[in-house]
């Protein structure tokens, strides 16, 4: 395990922000840390970075205890916490050079990073004039500068346009598959995480509601059959009369729980025999968003 | 910003003084060299203890820390693989260096512009007297006397994000310090914001009534007086306390 916390609890005053959290982040994973705003994601990340003092429980990173191995652990971590921390009066390159000096990284690496996040052309511009997306990319370059084994990113795609989001996603996937890094990424953009994460932890009100691989998460969600016909309401009535459970009806679609392939054929025949035209019919996974809502609401 | 202000402040003040003396050169041409130097250096030294130095320190301590507050980079600095002591002391010693640099430049510019005056206006007899030693001692004493304030202001600026709190506290304490030292309160040496003023007062007290050999005034300066020891002690104690506060403090 790259990150493993045990019974981590944190209070701000008498408000418990993180409740007995036990995270397990395996090596080589992209761990999506999901939760709505105010769920305790940033607090957890600050605890992992030793910015907040651990009150209860323990944190182990690279199998080392965090408090007693702070500098050694931090030297292997690149991080981006909340909005990127950038000196606005300095150019993008100067920001990186300044950090390179502190981390004793070669200047060549700075140019590589600028290239990587597509800021080479804007490198001489003052960071104060950067757009939100450029600042975010510079923040990611700063996090990657020391070539860390573990990347901890707090909502890194905030403020990026779709292209930027795709680039970051591909970059992270490349880092994990080609360079054996581990990425811990928090987000409230669920669809975003679904596309790259190998592991997921879902947190709400400071409590971990789910933790496991993305496939485990998907099996948790019951697949549905989505049917599109020429007359949604009447078709739904027919299905109900024929003892099918209809879970949801929208203007265009009827949803029925999926049990097997034969069931799809049966549904299709039934509707056709009763003179309904079936435009489309097929199995559908609940997306993470619905799943997430289901998990957070039942808890 | 702090760096340039540490350079520009002595430059501009000494330049201003240079022109002042240049314009009224004819009126003061009769004065002996020693008096000329004392007037020239004294014009700045007079307000140095009461106003310039404490305010300069408030400002330097603030700007060294505010750069991190503004860019929201404390969290980044403290998540780098660098010990908290290094981050804290590097910041502190930069402020320390800036104060030193600024005072050093005051000495150099005072001497430089004084000598320049005597070249431009040979009627001014600056060359008669050598103030270098005395001036260095005075400014060194001022530097030492300011370290207590520096530690306090540095910690305040590190803890408070906004400008008003360290600035306001610094301003009120400076005025209190001047009043205490100005009224010769006998325990004023316990109050760090009085120390620069006390350092200047000791300069006045050190000038002998009787001129020394050759008719030149003699100025004794005892660098390590009790207020300097108090200043140094406060500087060390507050620095160490500040480090432990940083160690315990959560970074938002």
For the stretch A149-202, pLDDT in tens is 999 999 888 778 888 888 888 888 988 998 889 999 998 877 788 888 999 998
Q: How far apart are CA A184 and CA A2, in angstroms?
A: 10
Residues of B in contact with A51 (CB under 8 A): 75, 78-79, 250-251
For the stretch B68-116, pLDDT in tens is 888 888 888 888 888 889 999 999 999 999 999 999 999 999 988 888 8
Rg (CA), chain B: 20
**Beta-carbon separation of B76 and A50 below 8 A:** no
Q: What are the φ and ψ backbone dihedral angles of B12, each rounded to 5 degrees?
A: -65, -45
Polymer length of chain A: 299
In the prediction, which pLDDT does A94 show?
92
Q: Where in chain A is the domain with CATH 3.30.70.120?
A: 221-286
Residues of A in contact with B78 (CB under 8 A): 50-51
Residues of B in contact with A53 (CB under 8 A): 248, 250
CATH topology of domain A3-216: Rossmann fold (3.40.50)
- Best of B81, B244, B245 to disrupt the A interface (most A CBs within 10 Å) is B81
- Specify the 3-state DSSP secondary structure of B207: strand
* Mean pLDDT value across residues B166-185: 89
Residue B171 confidence class, pLDDT cut points 50, 70, 90: very high
Nearest-CA distance from B77 to chain A in Å? Answer: 9
In the prediction, which pLDDT does B241 show?
93
DSSP state for residue B29 in the 8-state scheme: T
Could you say which architecture CATH assigns to the domain A221-286? Answer: 2-Layer Sandwich (3.30)
Residues of B in contact with A126 (CB under 8 A): none
Kindly provide the b/e burial profile for residues A88-112, where b requires at least 16 CB atoms within 10 angstroms of the residue's own CB. eebbbbbbbbebbebbebeeebbee
Looking at every residue in chain B, the average pLDDT score rounds to 85
Among residues of chain A, what percentage have pLDDT more than 90? 24
Which residue has better confidence, B120 or A291? B120
Looking at every residue in chain A, the average pLDDT score rounds to 87
- Please indicate if any CB of chain B lies within 8 Å of the CB of A53: yes
Q: Which residues contact B55 (CB under 8 A, 6 or more apart)?
A: B170, B171, B174
In the prediction, which pLDDT does A287 show?
65
Residue B101 near residue B7 (C-beta atoms within 8 A): yes
| Whether the predicted pLDDT of B35 surpasses 60 | yes
In the prediction, which pLDDT does A288 show?
62
- Please indicate if any CB of chain B lies within 8 Å of the CB of A299: no
* Mean pLDDT value across residues B190-199: 88
CA distances from A182 to A78, A168, A210, B132, B196 (A): 11, 15, 20, 63, 55
Identify which of A51, A74, A77 has the shortest CB distance to residue B75: A51
Which residue has better confidence, B39 or B60? B60
For residue B79, give the chain A residue with the closest CA.
Answer: A49
For the stretch A195-231, pLDDT in tens is 889 999 988 888 888 888 888 877 776 778 888 988 8
* Mean pLDDT value across residues A274-296: 78
Residues of A in contact with B65 (CB under 8 A): none
**Beta-carbon separation of A49 and B79 below 8 A:** yes
Lowest mean pLDDT among A59-63, A139-143, A290-294, B145-149: A290-294
Identify which of A51, A52, A87 has the shortest CB distance to residue B71: A87
In the prediction, which pLDDT does A289 show?
67
pTM of the model: 0.82
Which residue has better confidence, A292 or A96? A96
**Beta-carbon separation of A72 and B75 below 8 A:** no
DSSP state for residue A126 in the 8-state scheme: B
Residues of A in contact with B70 (CB under 8 A): 88
Q: Where in chain A is the domain with CATH 3.40.50.300?
A: 3-216
**Is this prediction's ipTM beyond 0.90?**
no
| Whether the predicted pLDDT of B21 surpasses 90 | no
**Beta-carbon separation of A74 and B79 below 8 A:** yes
Identify which of A53, A71, A86 has the shortest CB distance to residue B250: A53
Q: How far apart are CA B72 and CA B95, in angstroms?
A: 19
Identify which of A52, A79, A83 has the shortest CB distance to residue B72: A83
Residue A85 confidence class, pLDDT cut points 50, 70, 90: confident
DSSP labels, A199-244: EEEEEETTEEEEEEEHHHHHHHSPPEEEEEES-HHHHHHHHHHTT-
């Amino acid at each position: 395990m790259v990150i493993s916390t045990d019974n981590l609890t944190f209070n701000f005053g008498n408000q418990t922000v993180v409740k007995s959290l036990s995270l397990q982040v395996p090596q080589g994973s992209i761990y999506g840390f999901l939760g709505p705003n105010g769920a305790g994601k940033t607090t957890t990340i600050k605890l992992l970075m030793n910015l907040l003092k651990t009150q209860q429980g323990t944190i182990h990173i690279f199998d080392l205890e965090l408090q007693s191995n702070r500098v050694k652990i931090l030297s292997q971590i690149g991080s981006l916490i909340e909005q990127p921390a950038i000196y606005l009066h300095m150019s993008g390159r100067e920001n990186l050079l300044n950090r390179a000096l502190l981390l004793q990284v070669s200047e060549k690496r700075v140019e590589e990073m600028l290239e990587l996040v597509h800021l080479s052309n804007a490198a001489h511009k003052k960071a104060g004039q950067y757009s939100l997306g450029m600042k975010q990319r510079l923040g990611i370059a700063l996090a990657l500068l020391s070539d860390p084994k573990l990347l901890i990113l707090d909502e890194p795609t905030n403020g990026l346009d779709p292209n930027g989001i795709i680039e970051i996603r591909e970059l992270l996937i490349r880092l994990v598959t080609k360079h054996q890094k581990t990425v811990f990424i928090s987000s409230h953009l669920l669809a975003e995480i679904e596309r790259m994460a190998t592991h997921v932890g879902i947190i709400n009100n400071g409590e971990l509601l789910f933790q496991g691989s993305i496939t485990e998460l998907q099996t948790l969600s019951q697949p549905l059959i989505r049917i599109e016909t020429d007359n949604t309401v009447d078709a739904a009535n027919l299905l109900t009369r024929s003892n099918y459970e209809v879970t949801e009806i929208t203007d265009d679609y009827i949803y029925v729980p999926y049990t097997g392939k034969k069931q799809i054929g049966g549904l299709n025949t039934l509707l056709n025999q009763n003179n309904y035209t079936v435009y489309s019919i097929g199995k559908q996974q609940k997306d993470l968003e619905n799943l997430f809502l289901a998990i957070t609401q039942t808890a | 910003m702090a760096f340039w202000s540490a350079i520009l402040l002595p430059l501009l003040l000494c330049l201003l003084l240079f022109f002042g003396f240049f314009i009224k050169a004819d009126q003061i041409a009769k004065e002996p060299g020693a008096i000329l130097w004392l007037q020239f250096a004294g014009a700045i030294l007079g307000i140095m203890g009461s106003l310039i130095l404490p305010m300069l320190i408030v400002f330097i301590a603030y700007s060294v820390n505010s750069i991190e507050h503004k860019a929201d980079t404390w969290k980044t600095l403290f998540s780098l693989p660098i010990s908290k002591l290094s981050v804290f002391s590097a910041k502190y010693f930069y402020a320390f260096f800036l104060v030193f640099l600024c005072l050093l430049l005051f000495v150099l510019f005072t001497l430089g512009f004084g000598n320049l005056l005597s070249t431009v206006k040979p009627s001014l007899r600056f060359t008669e007297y050598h103030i270098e030693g005395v001036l260095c001692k005075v400014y060194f004493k001022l530097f030492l006397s300011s370290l207590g304030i520096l530690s306090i202001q540095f910690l305040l600026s590190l803890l408070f994000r906004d400008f008003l709190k360290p600035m306001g506290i610094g301003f009120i304490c400076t005025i209190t310090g001047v009043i205490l030292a100005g009224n010769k309160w006998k325990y004023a040496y316990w109050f760090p914001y009085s120390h620069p003023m006390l350092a200047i007062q000791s300069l006045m007290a050190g000038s002998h009534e009787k001129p020394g050999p050759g008719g030149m005034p003699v100025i004794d300066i005892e660098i390590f007086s009790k207020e300097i020891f108090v200043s140094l002690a406060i500087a060390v104690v507050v620095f160490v306390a500040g480090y432990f506060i940083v160690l315990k403090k959560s970074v938002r």
